[in-house]
Structure 1
Amino acid sequence: MKKILVLGGTRFFGKKLVERLTKAGHEVTIVTRGKSEVPFDSHVSHIKVDRLDEAAFRGALEGQWDLVYDNICYSPNEAKVLCEILEGKTQKLIFTSTLSTYEIDGRVKKEEDFDPFHYEIKMGDQTEFSYGEGKRQAEAVFFKYASFPVVAVRFPIVMGEEDYTRRLHFHTEKVKKEEAMSFINMDAKMSFILAAEAAEFLEWAGFSDIEGPFNATAKGAISLRDLLSLVEKATGKQAIITLEEDNAVEKSPYAIPNDWYMTPEKAEKAGFEFSELSSWLPELVAKIAK
């Protein structure tokens, strides 16, 4: 049994991670601001604190943990403070990063396409960076300042019926209501991962001997055109799509100009086997459409 700290962990794949860890018999403590309901019994400890309140955050994290998961770090400032807090207090950190660390340039992304070890660090808080740049800066800080092993897990968009962002739901609802959606390039391909598999990979990353950045994605990619075809099949209706800027038409959260997907080859060589995107995406679209 290990003592594990999870920053975040009440929703979506973070919740599934905590469920996996507790089922395996580990002693889990979650850290949240207390704004979301805690969906666990008393067997999961809960520290209620806002990490942006640095003094309170430092005071709240006084224990020792074998393993720490950080699902809610979005800036270099947050990463630096956590490195300082965890000095001598943990054996490993798993940081939830993102496909957004990579440029949308049409090339299949490998880990070396963003090198956090030689990236120029510019300290600041969340408000000073885009989502992708905040994650790039956080990775760079963790790998420079942490005195313990760090894994940066780069996820694409995570999918699931419980997705609170409702990005896939957006498309099924628009098609069912026969409302238009705006895109940029319907032939652009994307990669995704299922929430349960994301949680499984996070658990595996914590207990394996890997370090450094790792892509974590289902194998394969799908064009937005083919994704909308799945939605049309599931709803029995035709999608109304525009490729022109129109303030009266909501833009798809998947509206990208070029291919934007990555390969999980590095992680698979390290021993983790990912699912095929095509093996679960049609079923998920059908479930959400209902």
Structure 2
Amino acid sequence: MFMNILVIGGTRYFGIYLVEELLAQGHNVTIATRGITKDNYGDKVSRIVFDRTDSDSVKNSLSGKYFDVVYDNLAYCSNDVKYILDVINCNKYIMMSSTSVYEKHLDTMEEEFQTLHKKLIWCSRTDFTYDEAKRHAEYALWQNYNYINAIAVRYPFVIGKGDYTKRLYFYVEHVIKEIPMYIDNIDCQMGFIRSDEAGKFMAFLADKDYSGPINGSSYCTISIGEILGYVTEKTGKEPVLSEDGEKAPYNCEPEYSINTSKAKKLGFRFSNLKDWIYELIDYYIDIIY
């Protein structure tokens, strides 16, 4: 069934894969952005230009409009959720959340983050740290808009060739260029998801009979030590580890893995992390060399 779908965001990183997958499925897609980042969709999508952090801008752009599905890739806080859901009509709202809402550990499951009995604070993105702001975005969704058919997709770190955060790239570059770095969790196993798969899983959820939070993550885990060891094996360069070095971007992450049994039950199978992450590291090595 072809649907009328709004994607808030969709011009960067895995949002591009989401839009491309929705278009491949034949849906009518509208993207809502600030109009700053150019896209390559041509006349295949409709466009709305707004500032989603400004309630008046959102209201003027979306009030009275109906979409079968709304994807919100840019919901970072409770106000972000409120500004959208107070004005738009939709059959399903799919919010990009994060596994940062959890106290993560091995085999982290959706039910471990409870949202209904926590105090909701209406906040902007700068009022809290990233993880706490994301928690309040979910508090808003499940406490104030529980009448809406909604899904909160929780991903760990999304990595891929278009990763503008360059967090994984940091480790590869520092090994090759022998730049000292400080790492506080070198042996912790961690979960990741590939950017194209992140977009495809979100598109997969469009017509699924499911509501509530859902995890997405590649199968298997890897440690920073394994990543550094692979770069050393490929380049002959040894990492320079120092307490005075640059702080590594994945510092403070605990050992964890993300349970994806709910996604599997719906029929989506994620790839195995170790089937593709070394190819991505090779890509970074080639760029640096």
Note whether the superposition's TM-score is higher than 0.5.
Answer: yes
How far does the alpha carbon of each residue in 1:176-207 deviate from its partner, in whole angstroms, 9 at most, with x for none? 21111111121111100001110111011122
* Contact 2:6-2:71 within 8 A present in 1 as well: yes
* Contact 2:96-2:153 within 8 A present in 1 as well: yes
Match of 2:122 in 1: 123
Match of 1:134 in 2: 133
Match of 1:268 in 2: 264
**Offset at 1:257?**
5.3
Distance 1:205 1:234, change over 3 A: farther
Matches within 5 A, 1:40-51: 40-51=41-52
Query: For the residues of structure 1 that align with 2:182 and 2:235, how far apart are their CA atoms?
Result: 19
* Contact 1:178-1:238 within 8 A present in 2 as well: yes
**Offset at 1:38?**
2.2
* Contact 2:58-2:83 within 8 A present in 1 as well: no
Aligned identity (percent) is 38
After superposition, the CA RMSD in angstroms is 1.4
Amino acid at match of 1:221: T
Consecutive unaligned residues in structure 2, runs of 5 or more? none
Amino acid at match of 1:181: M
**Offset at 1:231?**
2.4
* Contact 1:172-1:235 within 8 A present in 2 as well: no
Match of 2:85 in 1: 83
Match of 1:54 in 2: 55
**Offset at 1:74?**
0.8
| 3-state SS in 1 of match to 2:17 | helix
* Contact 2:58-2:84 within 8 A present in 1 as well: no
| 3-state SS in 1 of match to 2:268 | coil
| 3-state SS in 2 of match to 1:287 | helix
Query: For the residues of structure 2 that align with 1:223 and 1:256, how far apart are their CA atoms?
Result: 13
**Offset at 1:151?**
0.5
Matches within 5 A, 1:230-269: 230-242=230-242, 244=243, 246=244, 249-256=245-252, 258-269=254-265
Q: How many residues align?
A: 283
**Offset at 1:266?**
2.2
Residue 205 (structure 1) aligned with residue 205 (structure 2): yes
Shift >6 Å, 4+ stretches: none
| 3-state SS in 2 of match to 1:161 | coil
Match of 2:66 in 1: 64
Amino acid at match of 2:5: I
**Offset at 1:52?**
1.5
Match of 2:92 in 1: 92
Match of 1:7 in 2: 8
Query: For the residues of structure 2 that align with 1:97 and 1:218, how far apart are their CA atoms?
Result: 16
Query: For the residues of structure 2 that align with 1:257 and 1:6, how far apart are their CA atoms?
Result: 30
**Offset at 1:157?**
0.4
* Contact 1:193-1:277 within 8 A present in 2 as well: yes
Match of 2:112 in 1: 113
Match of 1:25 in 2: 26
* Higher alpha-carbon deviation: 198-207 or 152-161: 198-207
Amino acid at match of 1:210: Y
Amino acid at match of 2:26: G
**Offset at 1:28?**
0.7
* Contact 1:99-1:261 within 8 A present in 2 as well: no
* Contact 1:49-1:57 within 8 A present in 2 as well: yes
Query: For the residues of structure 2 that align with 1:232 and 1:109, how far apart are their CA atoms?
Result: 31
* Contact 1:188-1:223 within 8 A present in 2 as well: yes
Residue 220 (structure 1) aligned with residue 220 (structure 2): yes
Amino acid at match of 1:130: T
| 3-state SS in 1 of match to 2:67 | coil
| 3-state SS in 1 of match to 2:137 | helix
**Offset at 1:161?**
0.6
Amino acid at match of 2:158: V
How far does the alpha carbon of each residue in 1:135-164 deviate from its partner, in whole angstroms, 9 at most, with x for none? 111111112222321111000000101111
How far does the alpha carbon of each residue in 1:66-109 deviate from its partner, in whole angstroms, 9 at most, with x for none? 100000011111112222112xx2100110011110125x4431
TM-score computed with the length of structure 2 as normaliser: 0.93
TM-score computed with the length of structure 1 as normaliser: 0.93
Consecutive unaligned residues in structure 1, runs of 5 or more? none
